[in-house]
């Protein structure tokens, strides 16, 4: 089995070949038209590669970059696409075994998935809630899900090599940094920022997020049910319990700095639960996919990651 680097490199070279072939065809077409009207001496038939408007033509996407810069940008883009596809497989939107969309109807369930893919190579998340937190606190968090995807698709043999290639290409110290990056004051998610941009501020995966981002959980809107927020709440409470245990251990060994950090996080999470998430879970909110993200996303108020243009109109 080839490594991820080899596969992406081949993908990049294939698109270079396609782009050059399309350029050749466009030049030939221009020459034919010029000849038909007797304009060979007056009109140039040349087509710069930067004007060949194929989606994955690096020269078209990054016309001011050098060839080396284009190669790197193409590779980074391909890896981000791969991570996005992996998230789709985690939620059952896509399958490694069947082309096209699998779960794309409102309220779609895992049972619906198994009806279409009875014996999946990669099994989607069971409860449609994937935690994104700073650390290995959950066995079913998004980092573990992607690691499982990487092993399943590209093999255990090259797993570490593939992971190193992905991290180095995207400029990450470790994989988790792409999904959640924490600073003393806040947390951010390059993954979610990329997703929101990909779907032009109408995301299909929604991020429940505490005010400073110490707790995050991703859901797929097509699998949403009125009980989904309660499932998110269960994850939050489990996380709080784990952090409380960590705080006790930290206090026992006299690590004042870590203890202070954990106390601040626990205050944030307890307020998020009491003021935001528990009330929203109690509402058992209904959504209608026909209304679109613009109408549905604001129903959850401060429970979800704020996205400019999707603010709630009535609190």
- For residue 188, what is the enclosing H or E element? strand 187-188
**pLDDT confidence of residue 312:** 52
**pLDDT confidence of residue 22:** 97
Helix (H, G, I), strand (E, B) or coil at 291: helix
Residue 183's pLDDT band (cuts 50, 70, 90): confident
Please say if the pLDDT value at position 157 is more than 90.
yes
Model pLDDT for residues 98-147, shown as the tens digit of each residue: 999 999 999 999 999 999 999 999 999 999 999 999 999 999 999 999 99
Range of weakest confidence among 39-53, 132-146, 199-213, 259-273:
39-53
**pLDDT confidence of residue 91:** 98
Residue 256's pLDDT band (cuts 50, 70, 90): very high
**pLDDT confidence of residue 314:** 42
Q: Which residue has the tokens 């650390």?
A: 135
Residue 196's pLDDT band (cuts 50, 70, 90): very high
Q: Look at the alpha carbons of 238, 239, 243, 244 in this order and tell me if their dihedral is positive or negative.
A: negative
For range 76-92, the mean pLDDT: 98
Distance CA 164, CA 174 (A): 9
Token pair of 41, please? 């001496």
Spatial CB neighbours of 146, under 8 Å, sequence gap ≥ 6? 83, 86, 87, 90, 175, 179
Spatial CB neighbours of 133, under 8 Å, sequence gap ≥ 6? 141, 180, 214, 215, 216, 239
Model pLDDT for residues 279-309, shown as the tens digit of each residue: 999 999 999 999 999 999 999 999 999 998 8
Helix (H, G, I), strand (E, B) or coil at 66: coil
**pLDDT confidence of residue 313:** 46
**pLDDT confidence of residue 315:** 38
Give phi and psi for 152, each to the nearest 5.
-65, -45
Q: In terms of Cα–Cα distance, which of 96, 84, 247, 257 is closest to 184? A: 257
Residue 174's pLDDT band (cuts 50, 70, 90): very high
Q: Among residues of the chain, what percentage have pLDDT more than 70?
A: 98
Find out whether 162 and 152 touch, Cβ atoms under 8 Å. Answer: no
pTM: 0.92
For range 154-180, the mean pLDDT: 96
**pLDDT confidence of residue 6:** 97
Average pLDDT value for the chain = 95
**pLDDT confidence of residue 184:** 77
**pLDDT confidence of residue 303:** 98
Model pLDDT for residues 212-245, shown as the tens digit of each residue: 999 999 999 999 999 999 999 999 999 999 999 9
Find out whether 85 and 194 touch, Cβ atoms under 8 Å. Answer: no
Classify burial at 14, counting beta carbons within 10 Å of its beta carbon; exposed 0-12, middle 13-18, buried 19 or more.
Answer: exposed
For range 24-41, the mean pLDDT: 92
């Amino acid at each position: 089995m080839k490594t991820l680097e080899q596969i992406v490199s081949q993908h990049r070279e294939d698109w270079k070949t396609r782009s050059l072939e399309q350029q050749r065809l466009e030049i030939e077409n221009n020459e034919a038209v010029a000849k038909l009207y007797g304009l060979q001496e007056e009109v140039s038939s040349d087509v710069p590669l930067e004007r060949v408007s194929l989606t994955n033509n690096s020269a078209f996407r990054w016309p001011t970059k050098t060839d080396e810069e284009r190669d790197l940008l193409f590779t980074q883009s391909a890896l981000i696409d791969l991570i996005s596809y992996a998230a789709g497989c985690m939620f059952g939107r896509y399958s490694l075994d069947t082309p096209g969309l699998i779960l794309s109807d409102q309220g779609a369930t895992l049972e619906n998935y198994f009806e279409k893919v009875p014996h999946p190579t990669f099994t989607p998340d069971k409860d449609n809630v994937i935690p994104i937190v700073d650390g290995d606190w959950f066995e079913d968090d998004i980092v573990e899900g992607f690691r499982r995807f990487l092993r399943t698709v590209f093999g255990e043999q090259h797993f570490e090599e593939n992971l190193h290639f992905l991290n180095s290409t995207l400029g990450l110290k470790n994989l988790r940094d792409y999904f959640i990056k924490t600073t003393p004051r806040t947390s951010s998610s390059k993954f979610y920022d990329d997703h929101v941009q990909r779907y032009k501020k109408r995301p299909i995966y929604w991020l429940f997020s505490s005010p400073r981002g110490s707790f995050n959980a991703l859901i797929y809107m097509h699998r949403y049910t009125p009980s989904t927020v309660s499932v998110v709440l269960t994850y939050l409470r489990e996380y709080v319990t784990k952090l409380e245990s960590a705080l006790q251990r930290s206090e026992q060994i006299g690590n004042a700095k870590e203890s202070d950090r954990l106390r601040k996080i626990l205050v944030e999470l307890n307020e998020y639960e009491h003021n935001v998430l528990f009330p929203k879970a109690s509402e058992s909110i209904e959504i209608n996919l026909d209304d679109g993200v613009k109408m549905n996303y604001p129903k959850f108020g401060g429970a979800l990651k704020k996205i400019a243009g999707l603010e709630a109109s009535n609190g």
